[in-house]
C-alpha cells in the first residue's frame, strides 16, 4: 500500500497566518491527490482535487500543489473557521490511502 | 442537491454482524461510485472500498476482505455495508461518500454524516 506521510502533525496558528502543510507519498502517485477538511464532529469536506484544483465553492485562500511524491496544501490567510484537521488522500492505486492528518489549533 | 443520509448509531455485541445504510438522493444513484470509509476513535481515515450501484461491481481494500460486504438496492437508491465478526477494533464511525467525475478525474466529493458503530458486550 502507498503510505501518505503528512507533516506536521499539528500546528499552532493565529488568524491571518499563512499555513503550509505537506504530504509525501511512498511512491509516485502522479497528480492523484485530494485534500479534505474535517471539523470536529463533522464529515470530511473536499477542498482540493487532483493536487491543485479547487472544488466548487471553496475559497481561494485554499491552494494545493505538487505531483509525483510531494504535495503541499496552503491556507493563505487563516480564518477562525479553518480550524480543523486536514487530510490528504491518494487515489492513484488501490487501496486509496489517507495521510494521518494535520491538526490546526489556535496559538 | 446530492444528499447521503446514513442510518443511526449501532451498539452491537462482539462476534455479531451489523448492516448500515446510506440513502442517496439528488442524483442518479446507479451512475456514481459509492465509497465507504472508516474512522476509528481519535484516528484518521481508512478507505474500505467502493460499489458501483449500476452493475453491483465492487472493489475492496484487502484489509477489509471478509469483514465488509458492500451492496446496493437500486429500487430505493440505498447503499449498504455489512460488517461481520465484529470486535472492539471495528468500533468506529463509518462514512459513505460518493464519487464525482470531472475533468477526467474521479474524486470523493460528497459525504454522508457518518454512522457510529460501537462493539461492546
Interface contacts A/B by beta carbons within 8 Å:
54
On the question of pLDDT at B21 being above 90, the answer is: yes
- Say whether A98 and B46 touch across the interface (CB within 8 A): yes
Task: Give the cell for residue A39.
Answer: 471539523
Residues on chain A bordering chain B, Cβ-to-Cβ distance under 8 angstroms: 32, 34, 36, 43-46, 49-50, 53, 55, 87, 89, 91, 94-101
On the question of pLDDT at B78 being above 90, the answer is: yes
DSSP string, B69-90: EEEEETTTTEEEEEE-S--GGG
- Say whether B105 and A98 touch across the interface (CB within 8 A): no
B53-75 mean pLDDT: 97
- Quick one: residue A104, left, alpha or beta (phi over 0 = left, psi -120 to 50 = alpha)? beta
Per-residue pLDDT tens for A73-87? 999 999 999 999 999
B19 CA to chain A: closest CA distance, Å?
Answer: 20
Residue B103: per-residue pLDDT: 85
Could you tell me if B72 and B51 are in contact, meaning their C-beta atoms sit under 8 angstroms apart?
Answer: yes
Sign of the Cα pseudo-torsion (B53, B43, A55, B4, in order): positive
Per-residue pLDDT tens for A13-40? 999 999 999 999 999 999 999 999 999 9
The mean pLDDT value of chain A amounts to 97
B121 CA to chain A: closest CA distance, Å?
Answer: 25
Closest CA in chain B for residue A31? B105
Residue B43: per-residue pLDDT: 85
Measured in whole angstroms, the distance separating CA B13 from the mean position of its chain's CA atoms is: 20
Per-residue pLDDT tens for B96-119? 999 999 988 999 999 999 999 999
A47-52 mean pLDDT: 98
Residue B59: per-residue pLDDT: 97
Per-residue pLDDT tens for B30-50? 999 999 999 998 888 999 999
On the question of pLDDT at B19 being above 90, the answer is: yes
- Quick one: residue A54, left, alpha or beta (phi over 0 = left, psi -120 to 50 = alpha)? beta
Closest CA in chain A for residue B60? A95
Residue A63: per-residue pLDDT: 98
Q: For chain A, say whether B13 makes contact (Cβ under 8 Å).
A: no
Q: Report how far residue A38's alpha carbon sits from residue A44's, in angstroms, rounded to the nearest whole number.
A: 4
Amino acid at each position: 500500500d502507498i503510505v501518505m506521510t503528512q507533516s506536521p502533525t499539528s500546528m499552532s496558528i493565529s488568524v491571518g497566518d499563512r499555513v503550509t502543510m505537506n504530504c509525501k507519498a511512498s511512491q509516485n502517485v502522479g497528480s492523484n491527490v485530494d485534500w479534505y477538511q474535517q471539523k470536529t464532529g463533522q464529515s470530511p469536506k473536499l477542498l482540493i482535487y487532483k493536487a491543485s484544483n479547487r472544488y466548487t465553492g471553496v475559497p481561494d485562500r485554499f491552494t494545493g500543489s505538487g505531483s509525483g511524491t510531494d504535495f503541499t496544501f496552503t491556507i493563505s490567510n487563516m480564518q477562525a473557521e479553518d480550524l480543523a484537521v486536514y487530510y490528504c488522500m491518494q487515489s492513484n492505486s488501490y487501496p486509496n490511502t489517507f495521510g494521518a492528518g494535520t491538526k490546526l489549533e489556535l496559538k | 442537491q446530492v444528499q447521503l443520509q446514513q442510518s443511526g448509531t449501532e451498539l452491537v455485541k462482539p462476534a455479531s454482524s451489523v448492516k448500515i445504510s446510506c440513502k442517496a438522493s439528488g442524483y442518479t444513484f446507479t451512475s456514481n461510485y459509492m465509497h465507504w470509509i472508516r474512522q476509528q476513535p481519535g484516528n484518521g481515515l481508512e478507505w474500505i472500498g467502493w460499489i458501483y450501484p449500476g452493475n453491483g461491481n465492487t472493489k475492496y481494500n484487502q484489509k477489509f476482505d471478509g469483514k465488509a460486504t458492500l451492496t446496493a438496492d437500486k429500487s430505493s437508491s440505498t447503499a449498504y455495508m455489512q460488517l461481520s465478526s465484529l470486535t472492539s477494533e471495528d468500533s468506529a464511525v463509518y462514512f459513505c461518500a460518493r464519487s464525482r467525475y470531472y475533468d477526467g478525474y474521479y474524486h470523493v466529493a460528497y459525504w454522508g454524516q457518518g454512522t457510529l458503530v460501537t462493539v461492546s458486550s
